Amino acid sequence: MGTVERAVRSELRSLRVSVQANGSAALAVSLARQIDSARGAVAAAAAAGQVRALLIDLRQAAAEQPERDVIDDLNARRAKRAAG
């Protein structure tokens, strides 16, 4: 794993965005991997622009989501069990 991919994965973790569940996140990681292995500046620059745009979109989407914590998740599961 290269430096760009590690940085993208770290940012996705901080945003609580799953690469497994979010196509934009998976694409950002894939493009970051391409940047790390790119041999030409043009290819790396094109991929970097796309990664930047994807991360901006993911940050905006994360900001719009209400903050949840472990207690919220436990309460949601409890309510689901109670509803039957």
Give residue 17's pLDDT band: very low, low, confident or very high (50, 70, 90).
Answer: very high
pTM value > 0.85: no
Q: Do 5 and 32 touch, CB atoms closer than 8 A?
A: yes
- Give the separation between CA 76 and CA 68, rounded to whole angstroms: 11
Per-residue pLDDT tens for 35-72? 999 999 999 999 999 999 999 999 999 888 777 777 88
Task: Give the per-residue pLDDT at 51.
Answer: 98
The DSSP letter of residue 33 is: H
